[in-house]
Structure 1
Protein backbone atom coordinates (compact mmCIF):
# COMPACT_ATOMS: atom_id res chain seq x y z
CA UNK A 1 0.00 0.00 0.00
CA UNK A 2 1.36 3.41 -0.94
CA UNK A 3 -0.23 6.70 0.02
CA UNK A 4 0.67 10.31 0.58
CA UNK A 5 -1.90 12.95 1.31
CA UNK A 6 -0.87 16.46 0.27
CA UNK A 7 -2.63 19.77 0.83
CA UNK A 8 -1.97 20.71 -2.80
CA UNK A 9 -4.26 17.99 -4.14
CA UNK A 10 -6.96 17.76 -1.45
CA UNK A 11 -7.25 14.04 -2.24
CA UNK A 12 -5.26 10.98 -1.27
CA UNK A 13 -4.48 8.32 -3.84
CA UNK A 14 -4.10 4.85 -2.35
CA UNK A 15 -2.26 2.56 -4.76
CA UNK A 16 -2.96 -1.10 -4.14
CA UNK A 17 -1.88 -3.63 -6.76
CA UNK A 18 -2.34 -7.23 -5.53
CA UNK A 19 0.10 -9.74 -7.03
CA UNK A 20 -1.23 -12.52 -9.24
CA UNK A 21 0.89 -15.65 -9.18
CA UNK A 22 2.37 -16.53 -12.56
CA UNK A 23 0.56 -13.75 -14.36
CA UNK A 24 1.47 -10.24 -15.46
CA UNK A 25 -1.64 -8.10 -15.62
CA UNK A 26 -1.56 -4.71 -17.33
CA UNK A 27 -3.28 -2.15 -15.19
CA UNK A 28 -4.16 1.44 -15.95
CA UNK A 29 -3.71 4.20 -13.39
CA UNK A 30 -7.48 4.46 -13.02
CA UNK A 31 -7.74 0.73 -12.30
CA UNK A 32 -5.09 0.85 -9.60
CA UNK A 33 -6.17 3.92 -7.67
CA UNK A 34 -8.71 4.33 -4.93
CA UNK A 35 -9.48 7.99 -4.31
CA UNK A 36 -10.48 9.15 -0.85
CA UNK A 37 -11.46 12.57 0.43
CA UNK A 38 -9.63 14.83 2.87
CA UNK A 39 -11.74 13.89 5.86
CA UNK A 40 -11.51 10.19 5.02
CA UNK A 41 -7.72 10.42 4.79
CA UNK A 42 -7.45 12.15 8.15
CA UNK A 43 -9.73 9.58 9.80
CA UNK A 44 -7.38 6.72 8.90
CA UNK A 45 -4.38 8.46 10.44
CA UNK A 46 -3.10 6.75 13.58
CA UNK A 47 -3.09 9.58 16.16
CA UNK A 48 -0.44 7.75 18.16
CA UNK A 49 2.08 7.82 15.31
CA UNK A 50 1.45 10.41 12.62
CA UNK A 51 4.12 11.14 10.01
CA UNK A 52 3.78 14.56 8.41
CA UNK A 53 5.88 16.15 5.69
CA UNK A 54 6.90 19.61 4.51
CA UNK A 55 8.39 20.15 1.04
CA UNK A 56 10.72 23.15 1.18
CA UNK A 57 11.78 25.20 -1.80
CA UNK A 58 13.79 28.28 -2.67
CA UNK A 59 15.42 29.74 -5.74
CA UNK A 60 12.47 28.68 -7.93
CA UNK A 61 12.75 24.96 -7.18
CA UNK A 62 11.73 22.40 -4.56
CA UNK A 63 14.82 21.38 -2.60
CA UNK A 64 13.65 18.47 -0.50
CA UNK A 65 11.13 16.85 1.81
CA UNK A 66 11.18 16.97 5.60
CA UNK A 67 9.43 14.10 7.40
CA UNK A 68 8.27 14.84 10.94
CA UNK A 69 7.02 12.24 13.40
CA UNK A 70 4.41 13.93 15.58
CA UNK A 71 3.94 13.24 19.28
CA UNK A 72 1.06 10.95 20.22
CA UNK A 73 -2.38 12.55 20.10
CA UNK A 74 -1.87 16.07 21.47
CA UNK A 75 -3.65 19.32 20.55
CA UNK A 76 -0.53 20.61 18.79
CA UNK A 77 -0.08 17.41 16.81
CA UNK A 78 -3.74 17.43 15.73
CA UNK A 79 -3.45 21.09 14.69
CA UNK A 80 -0.26 20.36 12.73
CA UNK A 81 -2.10 17.60 10.84
CA UNK A 82 -4.97 19.97 10.03
CA UNK A 83 -2.55 22.57 8.69
CA UNK A 84 -0.58 20.02 6.70
CA UNK A 85 -3.69 18.54 5.07
CA UNK A 86 -5.74 21.72 4.69
CA UNK A 87 -8.78 19.85 6.02
CA UNK A 88 -10.32 23.06 7.39
CA UNK A 89 -9.30 25.25 4.49
CA UNK A 90 -6.12 26.66 6.04
CA UNK A 91 -2.73 25.15 5.28
CA UNK A 92 1.00 25.62 5.71
CA UNK A 93 1.28 25.25 1.93
CA UNK A 94 2.75 28.37 0.25
CA UNK A 95 3.77 29.86 3.59
CA UNK A 96 7.33 31.08 4.05
CA UNK A 97 9.76 30.54 6.87
CA UNK A 98 10.00 33.61 9.05
CA UNK A 99 13.25 33.85 10.96
CA UNK A 100 16.41 32.05 12.05
CA UNK A 101 17.46 32.26 15.69
CA UNK A 102 21.04 31.69 16.94
CA UNK A 103 22.35 31.21 13.41
CA UNK A 104 25.54 29.10 13.35
CA UNK A 105 25.38 28.69 17.13
CA UNK A 106 24.11 26.01 19.51
CA UNK A 107 20.34 26.11 19.65
CA UNK A 108 19.99 27.31 16.06
CA UNK A 109 16.35 27.06 15.02
CA UNK A 110 14.02 28.27 12.30
CA UNK A 111 10.51 29.67 12.72
CA UNK A 112 7.55 28.99 10.43
CA UNK A 113 3.80 28.54 10.47
CA UNK A 114 2.26 31.96 9.77
CA UNK A 115 -0.46 30.46 7.56
CA UNK A 116 -2.84 33.45 7.84
CA UNK A 117 -0.17 36.19 7.54
CA UNK A 118 -1.49 37.56 10.83
CA UNK A 119 0.83 35.69 13.15
CA UNK A 120 -0.54 32.15 12.81
CA UNK A 121 -3.65 31.97 14.99
CA UNK A 122 -4.44 28.54 16.48
CA UNK A 123 -7.16 26.36 14.96
CA UNK A 124 -7.72 24.36 18.15
CA UNK A 125 -7.62 24.98 21.91
CA UNK A 126 -4.01 24.25 22.83
CA UNK A 127 -4.15 24.14 26.61
CA UNK A 128 -4.40 21.18 28.95
CA UNK A 129 -1.72 18.90 27.49
CA UNK A 130 1.72 18.01 28.83
CA UNK A 131 4.65 18.22 26.42
CA UNK A 132 8.21 16.96 26.82
CA UNK A 133 11.39 18.99 26.69
CA UNK A 134 14.32 18.45 24.33
CA UNK A 135 17.46 20.29 23.30
CA UNK A 136 18.28 18.05 20.35
CA UNK A 137 18.51 19.01 16.69
CA UNK A 138 15.39 17.97 14.80
CA UNK A 139 13.03 18.95 17.61
CA UNK A 140 9.66 20.41 16.54
CA UNK A 141 8.25 22.73 19.20
CA UNK A 142 6.10 25.71 20.03
CA UNK A 143 6.87 28.82 18.00
CA UNK A 144 5.84 31.44 20.57
CA UNK A 145 4.42 31.55 24.08
CA UNK A 146 1.42 33.68 23.07
CA UNK A 147 -0.67 30.74 21.86
CA UNK A 148 -3.83 32.84 21.46
CA UNK A 149 -2.22 34.80 18.61
CA UNK A 150 0.69 32.67 17.41
CA UNK A 151 -0.44 29.16 18.26
CA UNK A 152 0.09 27.71 14.76
CA UNK A 153 3.72 28.79 14.56
CA UNK A 154 6.42 26.19 15.00
CA UNK A 155 10.17 25.95 15.46
CA UNK A 156 12.49 23.32 14.03
CA UNK A 157 15.77 23.11 15.93
CA UNK A 158 18.75 22.56 13.60
CA UNK A 159 21.62 22.49 16.13
CA UNK A 160 21.74 20.89 19.57
CA UNK A 161 21.49 23.31 22.48
CA UNK A 162 24.33 23.67 24.95
CA UNK A 163 24.14 21.38 27.98
CA UNK A 164 20.93 19.94 26.51
CA UNK A 165 19.04 22.99 27.77
CA UNK A 166 15.85 21.92 26.06
CA UNK A 167 12.86 23.56 24.50
CA UNK A 168 9.47 23.16 26.09
CA UNK A 169 6.25 22.21 24.30
CA UNK A 170 7.94 19.67 22.02
CA UNK A 171 5.39 17.89 19.82
CA UNK A 172 7.45 16.23 17.11
CA UNK A 173 10.81 15.14 15.78
CA UNK A 174 12.31 15.32 12.29
CA UNK A 175 12.79 11.74 11.07
CA UNK A 176 14.42 12.62 7.75
CA UNK A 177 15.26 15.77 5.84
CA UNK A 178 16.90 17.77 8.62
CA UNK A 179 19.68 18.53 6.13
CA UNK A 180 17.08 20.27 3.96
CA UNK A 181 16.12 22.53 6.87
CA UNK A 182 19.79 23.27 7.51
CA UNK A 183 20.29 24.19 3.86
CA UNK A 184 17.27 26.50 4.12
CA UNK A 185 18.77 28.17 7.19
CA UNK A 186 21.88 28.97 5.14
CA UNK A 187 19.95 30.37 2.19
CA UNK A 188 20.54 34.08 1.64
CA UNK A 189 17.01 35.10 2.71
CA UNK A 190 15.06 32.77 4.97
CA UNK A 191 11.80 34.62 4.17
CA UNK A 192 12.15 33.39 0.57
CA UNK A 193 12.08 29.76 1.67
CA UNK A 194 8.61 28.38 0.97
CA UNK A 195 6.62 25.36 2.09
CA UNK A 196 5.88 24.25 -1.46
CA UNK A 197 3.62 21.45 -0.29
CA UNK A 198 2.77 19.60 2.92
CA UNK A 199 0.71 16.65 4.04
CA UNK A 200 0.70 13.35 5.88
CA UNK A 201 2.04 9.93 4.95
CA UNK A 202 -0.55 7.19 5.24
CA UNK A 203 1.75 4.19 4.58
CA UNK A 204 3.89 4.55 7.67
Structure 2
Protein backbone atom coordinates (compact mmCIF):
# COMPACT_ATOMS: atom_id res chain seq x y z
CA UNK A 1 0.00 0.00 0.00
CA UNK A 2 1.36 3.43 -0.90
CA UNK A 3 2.15 5.66 2.05
CA UNK A 4 0.46 9.08 2.13
CA UNK A 5 2.59 12.17 1.87
CA UNK A 6 2.44 14.02 5.21
CA UNK A 7 3.10 17.69 5.92
CA UNK A 8 6.49 17.68 7.62
CA UNK A 9 8.20 20.64 9.19
CA UNK A 10 11.62 21.05 10.72
CA UNK A 11 11.57 23.52 13.62
CA UNK A 12 14.71 24.95 15.17
CA UNK A 13 14.65 27.87 17.58
CA UNK A 14 15.14 31.40 16.31
CA UNK A 15 16.18 33.23 19.49
CA UNK A 16 18.39 35.83 17.83
CA UNK A 17 18.75 37.16 14.31
CA UNK A 18 21.41 35.27 12.31
CA UNK A 19 24.45 37.40 11.57
CA UNK A 20 27.03 34.86 10.40
CA UNK A 21 27.36 32.76 7.27
CA UNK A 22 27.36 29.55 9.33
CA UNK A 23 23.74 30.21 10.36
CA UNK A 24 22.55 30.35 6.77
CA UNK A 25 19.52 28.09 6.31
CA UNK A 26 20.15 27.94 2.56
CA UNK A 27 23.83 26.94 2.82
CA UNK A 28 25.03 23.50 1.70
CA UNK A 29 27.78 21.33 3.17
CA UNK A 30 30.25 19.83 0.69
CA UNK A 31 30.86 16.09 0.84
CA UNK A 32 30.78 12.87 -1.23
CA UNK A 33 28.24 10.09 -1.81
CA UNK A 34 28.25 6.48 -2.98
CA UNK A 35 25.35 3.99 -3.32
CA UNK A 36 24.28 0.52 -2.24
CA UNK A 37 25.16 -1.84 -5.12
CA UNK A 38 22.09 -4.05 -4.47
CA UNK A 39 19.38 -1.44 -4.02
CA UNK A 40 17.80 -0.86 -7.42
CA UNK A 41 14.40 0.47 -6.37
CA UNK A 42 14.46 0.34 -2.58
CA UNK A 43 16.65 0.84 0.45
CA UNK A 44 17.71 -1.86 2.90
CA UNK A 45 15.47 -3.89 5.20
CA UNK A 46 18.34 -4.47 7.63
CA UNK A 47 19.36 -0.87 8.35
CA UNK A 48 20.71 0.19 11.74
CA UNK A 49 17.58 2.30 12.31
CA UNK A 50 15.61 -0.99 12.46
CA UNK A 51 12.77 0.14 10.22
CA UNK A 52 12.58 -3.33 8.65
CA UNK A 53 10.65 -3.67 5.40
CA UNK A 54 9.20 -0.19 5.93
CA UNK A 55 12.72 1.23 5.74
CA UNK A 56 13.20 -0.32 2.31
CA UNK A 57 10.28 1.55 0.75
CA UNK A 58 10.25 4.68 2.92
CA UNK A 59 10.22 7.91 0.86
CA UNK A 60 9.69 5.82 -2.31
CA UNK A 61 13.08 4.17 -1.72
CA UNK A 62 15.03 7.44 -1.63
CA UNK A 63 16.97 6.59 1.52
CA UNK A 64 20.56 6.60 2.69
CA UNK A 65 23.07 5.33 5.21
CA UNK A 66 25.48 7.75 6.84
CA UNK A 67 28.26 7.51 9.40
CA UNK A 68 28.34 10.92 11.12
CA UNK A 69 24.69 11.86 10.43
CA UNK A 70 23.40 8.58 11.92
CA UNK A 71 24.57 9.87 15.34
CA UNK A 72 24.03 6.62 17.25
CA UNK A 73 20.42 6.47 16.10
CA UNK A 74 19.44 10.07 16.89
CA UNK A 75 19.68 10.91 13.18
CA UNK A 76 17.29 8.15 12.07
CA UNK A 77 14.42 9.56 10.02
CA UNK A 78 16.15 12.86 9.31
CA UNK A 79 15.47 14.31 5.88
CA UNK A 80 18.21 15.91 3.75
CA UNK A 81 18.39 17.50 0.33
CA UNK A 82 21.38 15.98 -1.48
CA UNK A 83 22.56 17.07 -4.90
CA UNK A 84 25.65 16.27 -6.92
CA UNK A 85 27.84 19.09 -8.13
CA UNK A 86 28.81 18.25 -11.71
CA UNK A 87 26.70 20.51 -13.95
CA UNK A 88 27.17 18.08 -16.85
CA UNK A 89 25.10 15.41 -15.10
CA UNK A 90 23.36 16.87 -12.06
CA UNK A 91 20.05 18.65 -11.51
CA UNK A 92 19.74 21.73 -9.31
CA UNK A 93 17.14 20.09 -7.08
CA UNK A 94 18.94 16.83 -6.39
CA UNK A 95 16.99 14.37 -4.24
CA UNK A 96 15.40 14.41 -0.79
CA UNK A 97 16.56 11.39 1.23
CA UNK A 98 15.86 9.93 4.67
CA UNK A 99 18.53 8.43 6.93
CA UNK A 100 17.66 4.79 7.64
CA UNK A 101 21.05 3.17 8.24
CA UNK A 102 24.63 3.67 9.43
CA UNK A 103 27.53 2.95 7.12
CA UNK A 104 30.90 4.01 5.77
CA UNK A 105 32.22 3.80 2.22
CA UNK A 106 35.57 5.46 1.71
CA UNK A 107 35.37 9.16 2.45
CA UNK A 108 31.67 9.51 1.61
CA UNK A 109 29.07 11.09 3.88
CA UNK A 110 26.10 9.27 2.30
CA UNK A 111 25.54 5.77 0.93
CA UNK A 112 22.36 6.27 -1.07
CA UNK A 113 20.01 3.72 -2.55
CA UNK A 114 20.59 3.34 -6.30
CA UNK A 115 17.17 4.89 -6.85
CA UNK A 116 18.13 8.03 -4.91
CA UNK A 117 21.61 8.22 -6.45
CA UNK A 118 20.23 8.15 -10.01
CA UNK A 119 17.60 10.76 -9.19
CA UNK A 120 20.34 13.36 -8.72
CA UNK A 121 20.77 13.32 -12.52
CA UNK A 122 19.04 15.79 -14.81
CA UNK A 123 17.18 12.91 -16.48
CA UNK A 124 17.08 9.10 -16.52
CA UNK A 125 19.99 8.75 -18.95
CA UNK A 126 22.23 11.08 -16.95
CA UNK A 127 21.13 9.33 -13.76
CA UNK A 128 22.40 6.06 -15.26
CA UNK A 129 25.67 7.81 -16.09
CA UNK A 130 25.99 8.87 -12.44
CA UNK A 131 25.63 5.25 -11.35
CA UNK A 132 28.56 4.31 -13.59
CA UNK A 133 30.76 6.74 -11.63
CA UNK A 134 30.21 4.88 -8.36
CA UNK A 135 31.00 7.82 -6.05
CA UNK A 136 30.94 11.56 -6.62
CA UNK A 137 31.03 14.97 -5.00
CA UNK A 138 27.77 16.21 -3.49
CA UNK A 139 26.44 18.97 -1.30
CA UNK A 140 23.67 18.60 1.26
CA UNK A 141 21.57 20.48 3.77
CA UNK A 142 18.93 19.83 6.38
CA UNK A 143 15.66 21.71 5.96
CA UNK A 144 16.92 24.66 8.04
CA UNK A 145 19.55 25.31 10.70
CA UNK A 146 19.18 26.68 14.18
CA UNK A 147 20.73 30.08 14.91
CA UNK A 148 21.31 30.44 18.66
CA UNK A 149 24.15 28.30 20.00
CA UNK A 150 23.12 29.01 23.61
CA UNK A 151 19.92 26.96 23.46
CA UNK A 152 19.21 25.18 20.23
CA UNK A 153 20.52 22.14 18.45
CA UNK A 154 21.49 22.16 14.80
CA UNK A 155 18.91 19.45 14.14
CA UNK A 156 15.81 20.97 15.73
CA UNK A 157 12.82 18.62 15.48
CA UNK A 158 10.80 17.09 12.63
CA UNK A 159 7.03 17.22 13.23
CA UNK A 160 3.87 16.13 11.43
CA UNK A 161 0.75 18.35 11.42
CA UNK A 162 -2.03 16.43 13.21
CA UNK A 163 -4.43 19.11 14.50
CA UNK A 164 -5.63 22.69 14.13
CA UNK A 165 -5.28 25.30 16.86
CA UNK A 166 -4.37 28.88 17.78
CA UNK A 167 -2.41 30.23 20.74
CA UNK A 168 -1.68 33.95 20.63
CA UNK A 169 0.42 34.82 17.58
CA UNK A 170 2.13 31.43 17.33
CA UNK A 171 2.29 29.42 14.11
CA UNK A 172 2.68 26.01 15.81
CA UNK A 173 1.47 24.45 19.06
CA UNK A 174 3.90 21.58 19.68
CA UNK A 175 3.66 18.66 22.03
CA UNK A 176 5.88 19.13 25.12
CA UNK A 177 8.07 16.30 23.84
CA UNK A 178 8.66 18.00 20.48
CA UNK A 179 9.12 21.43 22.08
CA UNK A 180 11.81 20.15 24.45
CA UNK A 181 13.60 18.29 21.66
CA UNK A 182 14.52 21.60 20.05
CA UNK A 183 17.08 22.09 22.84
CA UNK A 184 20.69 20.91 22.64
CA UNK A 185 20.11 18.51 25.54
CA UNK A 186 17.50 17.53 28.13
CA UNK A 187 18.37 20.38 30.53
CA UNK A 188 18.14 23.05 27.82
CA UNK A 189 14.96 21.43 26.56
CA UNK A 190 13.49 21.83 30.04
CA UNK A 191 14.58 25.48 30.01
CA UNK A 192 12.72 25.98 26.74
CA UNK A 193 9.54 24.56 28.27
CA UNK A 194 9.75 27.14 31.03
CA UNK A 195 9.66 29.91 28.40
CA UNK A 196 6.26 28.78 27.15
CA UNK A 197 6.61 30.33 23.68
CA UNK A 198 9.70 30.98 21.57
CA UNK A 199 10.64 32.26 18.15
CA UNK A 200 11.25 29.59 15.53
CA UNK A 201 12.09 29.23 11.87
CA UNK A 202 10.63 26.43 9.81
CA UNK A 203 10.67 24.94 6.37
CA UNK A 204 8.46 22.34 4.76
CA UNK A 205 10.13 19.04 3.92
CA UNK A 206 8.96 16.82 1.08
CA UNK A 207 10.14 13.42 2.27
CA UNK A 208 7.38 10.79 2.30
CA UNK A 209 6.91 9.02 5.64
Q: TM-score range by the shorter chain?
A: under 0.3
Normalised to the residue count of structure 2, the TM-score between the two structures is 0.25
Greater relative CO (CA pairs within 8 A, separation 6+): 2
Normalised to the residue count of structure 1, the TM-score between the two structures is 0.26
